[in-house]
Every structure is written in structure tokens, then in C-alpha cells.
Amino acid sequence: MPVRVPGLFTLVLHTHLPWLAHHGRWPVGEEWLYQSWAASYLPLLRVLRTLAAEGRQSVVSLGLTPVVTAQLDDPYCLDGMQHWLANWQLRALEATTLRNQEALRDFGSREHAEAGRALEEFDTLWRHGAGPLVRQLIDAGTVELLGGPLAHPFQPLLPPRLREFALGEGLADARQRFAHTPTGIWAPECAYAPGMEQGYAAAGVGHFMVDGPSLHGDTALGRPVGDSGVVAFGRDLKVSYRVWSPKSGYPGHPAYRDFHTYDHTTGLKPARVTGRNVPSEEKAPYDPQRADAAVDRHVADFVDVVRRRLISESERIGRPAHVVAAFDTELFGHWWYEGPVWLERVLRALPAAGVQLGTLRDATAAGFVGTPVQLPPSSWGSGKDWQVWNGEQVSDLVQLNVEVVDTALAAVDKALEQSATPGAPSPRDFVADQILRETLLTVSSDWPFMVSKDSAADYARYRAHLHAHATREIAGALASGRRDAAQRLAQGWNRADGLFGALDARRLPRP
């Protein structure tokens, strides 16, 4: 039996995509959703269901943003996903018929089997969306659910009223979908501004994630923020970066499937990385056995890294330490094809090697909490500050957001005031609801991130301005006394942006 190492290890996964339904297909749009669903969400849920069936508990703290779960439960998206999986199967079948391309035919056979498995699993288990599947994992104690605010806004740049509303509605959305209200959140972009912990405490949030530098690199224990009692857990970069960093990590190994190299006939990805500077046309064919051996080596390496880190950090602080490794869920499968297999093996190998697994909630309950701390303004973006979301490159979006939010709040306040009846409950206001829905989509942190990183920047700016236009159009009709026109406009925009059906403008804090 391996010697048990001191302390606790927590794996945190952050699952998020912006609202993509009804907003383009290729190269950016719904295709992004379906690729991530097929490559990451399906296999991740398969892994977690397998571990749950074995009675394993407290395996992972799983962050699911309201905007991604809205899509994974949406009938339109479920239908689109089924069509996408069937198309994947057909493309793989086509690859098996190509002449004079033996390697691609063999690859197509494997892809055809994998697509068939995914399609059968989707039809059998996902008929009613992700909600029931995730709830089973929460009920089994296999995962801790981490929530977040609606539409993933960069919270430090929001006025307090909208920040409070987005968080409260996001937690309510999770409660409605999963019959569980998260007590922990993955703050969008790990973004923090002084004072936000008070809002968390008021919303019933007891712990949240920040990046390691926010705690000055000392992530060995969670830290209460000020006198709030709300605990900030920091990502251990020495461990997390072993898997994936801006410059290196396991997915770049020559044996793994190359994400960027396509067969343009079938749209499949039949090559392996081969080498860092090898051009796509010279990439070697993918070899599953070679990749599988690399997975085992990287599992062993990661287990060794975690063991050594727990031992060294425990010695440094003079008590059992807590190590948190945190990643975007989409890394596992979408960006790194072998990621889900690595994940399942590492979650078995760590306990077998004497490492105790636990969630962030477990860490709090077990006392892996240090002395209070004051956190600086921070994020997990470049520079660990706010520059990705409020830098010069996105100053136009920052100004757009300020103007749209001011317009929206004024319009909603007026709408609710008009509909109020003294001595009686105010009725639900569909127009006010849609104004807030479009506003939250406008201020999604995804748009400035994509611009700053030059990743589909034109699409990101288009989306931000589209939702800003919707907000202004509805609010303008309302402000000019054309309530019927505002109602028609709200209904029209709702056909594309009808997510968060329980969003209720009446819960917006009053000015």
C-alpha cells in the first residue's frame, strides 16, 4: 500500500461557452457548441457516471455556468446536437471509403465507431438534456456543483445592482435545473474586485475561485476574505501548469491528436502533433497505441507532481496543505482529445497513490482554511489583472457596456414603475425581462476576451453590438411610450435569445 501523503487535492473544472444557439454556425457559432459537447461534455459525463457507479464521492468540483447549461437543456440545441452527431458518423463513414488512403480509412473506422457510441449514448441518456444527468452526480455526492452569474459577465465592471441580480438569478437557475443551490462559485474569469465578497455572502455563496497570484502565490490553504467569512481558493499554478499553461503542457506531446490539422474532405482530424514546428501537411498519422502510452506516462507524472507538492507545501506551512488544480472543462476532449481518458485514469490513480481527493466544500469543512486576507483586483487573464477585459484594445466594448447597462436599468426601472399597482403584487413584465436578458448577453466576458486574444474578434464584436442593439431597440420603444411596439420587439428578440426563462426583472434591486 502506498504511504498516504498529507493534505487534500481538489480538481476544479470550469464548464463554459457563450450563448451560441441561433447565432451562426461556422466557423464560429453553433459548431463550437456541438464540437465541445461531443468532444468534452459527453465523455466527461461518461467518466463521472462511471466513477459514481463505483461509489466514488467528492471526485471533482464541477463548475457549470448558467449559459452553458441553458444550451445543454435547450430543445433546439438538443435537436441540433443529434444532427451534428449523425453528420459526424456520416463523415467518418466517408473516410472509410477513400481510395489510396489506408491510414485515413483506418482512422475513419475508429471515428465511425466512436460517433456511433456517442449517438447511441446521446439518444439514450441525454433525451431531456444535461440537467437530470448532472443532478444524479450531485445526488450521488460524486461532484460538488459550482454555479455562477447569468451569462458570465466580468463582474468587477458591472454596477452593483446588475452584479447582484446576475448572481442571484444564476444561483436560482441552478436550483431550478438541478434541485441544488450552489454554495460555491467559479467567478467568471476568476475576476475579483474588493468588496465583492460581501455580495457573495449576501447571496449565500461561501467559497469562490481566484487565480494563484491573487493570493500572492500562497495557495496552500483557502483564505477568508476580510471579515466576510467567504473563502477564496487559489489555483495552484505549479500543478495546474503541468497539464496546461500558455506555453506548454501535456496536450502538446507529439503522440497526441493534433487539434489544428484537418482532413479537408471529411472534416476529421487524423494527424498527431508529431512536433512543435512540423507543418500540417507533414504531420504523421494518429496512432492510438502511441497516444495511450503517453496518457499513462502523463498520469504517472501528474500523480508524482501532486504528491510532491502536497508534501512540500505541508512541510512549508507546518500543517496538512490543500492543492487545487483548475482547468476549463473544454481542455479535456475538445482541445486535448485524450484528455477525458487521462482524467479518468488520474482520478483513479491519485487515491491509489495515497492522495486524498475532495471538493472545495470538503476543504472548507475539513478546515483547510488559513487566516483572513485582503485580495487585490485580479483575474486569471494575461497579467492576472483586468487588462483583457478593460484594456485599450477593448475600450470600445467597455464604453458600449456602460452605455447599454445605463439604458437598460433606466428602462427597466420605468417599466416596473408603470406596471406597479398600489397594494397589489406587480405582474411579470416580459419586456423588462427581455431587456435584462439582452443586456446580460451584451456584457458577457467572452466578447472582450475574444477580441483581446484575437480569436474570432469580428464575431465577438458583432455579438456584443447585436445584443446592445436589441437592448436599445426595446428600451427605446418603451421610453417613447410605445409599449405595444416594445412588446413585439421583445418577442422577436426572444425567439433567438429566449434563454433563462425564469429570469424575472422584478427581482432587480431597486435604485
Q: Active-site positions?
A: 189, 328
Place of cell 445526488: 139
Beta pairing partners, 234: 210
Measuring CA to CA, how many Å separate 164 from each of 57, 167, 181, 279, 326?
32, 5, 16, 49, 25
Asked if residues 414 and 475 have their Cβ atoms less than 8 Å apart, the reply is no
Place of cell 500562497: 218
Give the helix ranges, DSSP H, for 265-386.
288-317, 339-352, 360-365
Supply the DSSP symbol for 13.
E
Helix (H) or strand (E) holding 322: strand 322-328
Q: What DSSP letter does each residue of 384-401 carry, written as one string?
A: GSSHHHHSGGGHHHHHHH
Which among 103, 205, 226 has a CA at the least distance from the CA of 147? 205
Asked if residues 79 and 90 have their Cβ atoms less than 8 Å apart, the reply is no
Centroid of chain to Cα 240:
16
Asked if residues 14 and 307 have their Cβ atoms less than 8 Å apart, the reply is no
Between CA 381 and CA 387 the distance in angstroms is 8
Measuring CA to CA, how many Å separate 36 from each of 210, 400, 421?
24, 29, 47
